Amino acid sequence: MNPRGGFNTKLGFILAAAGSAVGLGNIWKFPIEVSEGGGAAFLLMYLFFCFILCFPVIVSEIAIGRKSNRNAIGSFQKLGFKKWSFIGKMGVLTGILILSFYSVVAGWVLGYVFEMIRGNFQIYESFYEYTNNVKYIMLYSFLFMFVTAFIVSKGIADGIEKASKILMPSLIFLMIILIIYALTLPNSLDGIKFYLIPDFSQINLNVAGSALGQAFFSLSLGMGMLITYGSYIDKDNNIVKSAALITLADVGIAFLAGLVIFPFIFSKGLAVEGGPGLIFTTLPQIFESLGETTGVLVGSTFFILLTFAALTSTVSLLEVPVSYVVDEYKISRKLSVWIIAFFIFILGIPSLLSHGEFLFFKNFITYLGSTKPVDFMSFIIHVSNDTLLPLGGFLITIFAAYIWKKENLLEEISIGNNNFKNSFVAKYISFSISFICPLILGSLFLITFLEKFFGISFI
């Protein structure tokens, strides 16, 4: 048995990686992005990025992890390219930033479980006051971080794998029920049209940049999560198949979330607008219209499942820095986990204070070329999700194709996958990792970065 620990089963790895991918990104953030990106046009680009562009990056991350058997930073060193471990360092930093705000939103979700149990559907009218209730939210995000740390402290098979094997099917089941209900509402079809019939005039580089950022965030890509999880799998694992299943699970759940939200927004005649409140303000209204008892039941179950979906993601986010510290500094897993989790919790406090009276964090920064200040949490989201993840993805493809070399990449992928080398998928991965991915990822990263932070427009 490997002293670093590892997944016991292939399914365990797939579920843990899919569990990492499926989270608040799919159910909270995806519908917001679709609204802000103009509906179906955004969805199309998102699907394109996930299946065509991100797939080779997923496969490369897993291969780098499995080959090196090390954490996100150590893996580059182990493969013989110490200088390139800065990619891993950037990844660890990104993971820490993401977890710091993610645990705050997860705290909102956890609090909603109790609000739904109390039958407090009216909360949609006072969502912003709710997020402003600092003591309450801090308690919940602390609790959330605590459970995350507890699971990660148990290690891979007993903690992460076991926890991931629970609840994904129930989440899907419940969402399907909600979709069926949403579709029976008057005017729900308008929502479906907005979501599924693209208006191509909405497509521009800005929207493409957001779709790419969302695809990376949702697939947990570009920050070494899959390098880390990949380092815990065996050689008989079929990387291509695992990657396909992870992508399908992730895209599938995001797609379902849209099918719940948009029919409902249109049937209630609400304006399609973005903003972090979307699921927190629209869903309680669906639950309310179900009647008291059913509403409480469905509402609380939904937010419990969302809490669990978020939990498998925070677990993977925490595992990235923990794995690094455990591998490289020989500090015990337990101690590393608690110290890092506490540090990240503290780092999350400014995000927690971003939505209310604390004007310093609410109007934290105004980017060049803009007049509207951005709150602290959005700033962290822009830096980590929209900037660092695509940049990380770009660098990983450059590394895999030209530094480690694509022959070595393909060799590693073919282990556990006998017919791989002559397959179409191998040719596709080889071509796209060398040309398509670096080109599109690199340019979209640059365009979004310049546009977002410096107001330099390319449209």
Binding site for ligand PHE (CB under 6 A): 20-21, 23-26, 98, 217-218, 220, 223, 225, 313, 316-317
Which residue in this structure is represented by tokens 């070494």? 224
Q: Which is nearer to ligand PHE, 389 or 426 (CB)?
A: 389
Angle at 142 (CA atoms; ends 139, 143), nearest 5 degrees: 85
Angle between helices 10-21 and 239-267 (to 10 degrees): 40
CA distance 246 to 230: 13
Q: Which two tokens stand for residue 361?
A: 């964090």
Q: Which is nearer to ligand PHE, 249 or 413 (CB)?
A: 249
Q: Which is nearer to ligand PHE, 26 or 71 (CB)?
A: 26
Least CB distance to ligand PHE at residue 356 (A): 24
Q: Which is nearer to ligand PHE, 252 or 356 (CB)?
A: 252
Q: Which is nearer to ligand PHE, 98 or 151 (CB)?
A: 98
Q: Which is nearer to ligand PHE, 29 or 78 (CB)?
A: 29
What length is written for the chain?
459
Least CB distance to ligand PHE at residue 98 (A): 5
Least CB distance to ligand PHE at residue 188 (A): 26
**Does residue 225 contact residue 316 with C-beta atoms inside 8 Å?**
yes
Least CB distance to ligand PHE at residue 77 (A): 22
Q: Which is nearer to ligand PHE, 26 or 430 (CB)?
A: 26
Least CB distance to ligand PHE at residue 150 (A): 18
Q: Which two tokens stand for residue 352?
A: 């927690």
CA distance 85 to 327: 14
- Extract the runs of DSSP E, i.e. beta strands, from 399-454: none
Count of CA atoms in the C-beta half-sphere (13 A) of 378: 18
- Containing 427, the helix (H) or strand (E) segment is helix 424-431
Q: Which is nearer to ligand PHE, 45 or 223 (CB)?
A: 223
Least CB distance to ligand PHE at residue 125 (A): 27
Least CB distance to ligand PHE at residue 23 (A): 2
| Burial track 245-255 (b if 16+ CB lie within 10 A, e otherwise) | bbbebbbebbb
Least CB distance to ligand PHE at residue 234 (A): 22
CB-closest chain residue to ligand PHE: 25
Nearby residues of 248 by Cβ (< 8 Å), 6 or more positions away: none
Residue 9 is given by DSSP the state S
Q: Which two tokens stand for residue 172?
A: 């899907």
CA distance 411 to 64: 11
Return the percent helix, strand and coil in the chain, to nearest 5. 80, 0, 20
